Amino acid sequence: MNKILRGIMTYRKTTREHMVAEFKQVKNNPEPKAVFFTCMDSRMIPTRFTDTAVGDMFVVRNAGNLIPNSHHFQDEYFSCEPAALELGCIINDIRHIIVCGHSDCKAMNLLYQLRDPELSSLNNRRISPLRSWLCTHANSSLERFLDWKEAGMKDPLVFSSETPLRKFVAYIDPEDKFAIEDKLSQVNTLQQLSNIASYGLLKERLENFNCHIHALWFDIYTGDIYYFSRGAKRFVEINENSIEKLLEEVEKYYS
């Protein structure tokens, strides 16, 4: 708390005036462009690595950047993630949903360990909210990953996206650059696109191309950011060599 309180004093002396001016600028007419789901990891600072400012994005954070599939909920029982989808995409008419995973994700590291039946047992889930959260809402990612791993980790995976018929192919880390848990993190990030599309409240917008779902992946050790390109069928590093082609893809499919 000492660091936080002193940080607030620094903010008062430096950036507060500028930030308040930004608040006033967007107060009556904010136009956020994306709902951004990412991990609660303290190293993930999405507004910094996307160079976005006040009013640009709704940001939702949790352990493992998960969006629970709609089949987990009945009647009025929901979690904050689908509520954020409604607030962002229905009430505020935001057209782009982004899921951003990252390397060395502690939630994904634990999820990989939970392939051990003893660690994922009901007794262990009862004493660990985090294990219960992952076993409930990330098990589909783990199952897909383990099937892929058992098959040799070479073949592509197929994910459904905006609609059950609108599928995409994904080659996961074809250069074998990343640790096994990071490969799981990438699979998990893509699985969330299917989970988002499971919500009936988005069905019409997704079918009519009025709402689009994207995946990013952040390597915290290099600072590199990857965009999942459906054309390239893989996560592509966003850099000086790839940016124009990625912008063309976004313009073609998601404008």
Report the amino acid identity of residue 164: P
DSSP secondary structure letter of residue 75: T
Residues 91 and 16 grouped into a single domain: no
What is the DSSP code (8-state) at residue 232?
A: T
Domain holding 240: CATH number?
A: 3.40.1050.10
70 and 188 housed in the same domain: yes
Query: Do both 15 and 108 map to the same domain?
Result: no
Q: Tokens at residue 136, please?
A: 């409930």
Tokens 């889930």 correspond to 125
Specify whether 104 is located in the same domain as 12.
no
Task: For residues 2 and 48, state if they share a domain.
Answer: no
- Residue 14 sits in the same domain as residue 42: no
The CA distance from 238 to 246, in Å, is: 8
Q: Which of 80, 26, 13 is nearest to 52 (CA)?
A: 26
CA dist 105 and 108 (Å) reads: 5
**Residue 244 sits in the same domain as residue 217:** yes
> By residue range, what is the domain housing residue 12?
1-30
**Domain shared by 9 and 43, yes or no:** no
**Which letter does DSSP use for residue 40 in this model?**
-
What percent of the chain is helix, strand and coil (3-state, nearest 5)?
45, 15, 40
Report the distance separating Cα 99 and Cα 145, nearest Å: 18
> Count of domains in the chain?
2
User: pLDDT tens string for the chain (255 positions)?
Assistant: 999 999 999 999 999 999 898 888 887 677 899 999 999 999 999 999 999 988 999 999 999 999 999 988 876 677 899 999 999 999 999 999 999 999 999 999 999 999 998 888 888 889 999 999 999 999 999 999 999 999 999 999 999 988 888 899 999 999 999 999 999 999 999 999 999 999 999 999 999 999 999 999 999 999 999 999 999 999 999 999 999 999 999 988 776
Residues 77 and 146 in one domain: yes
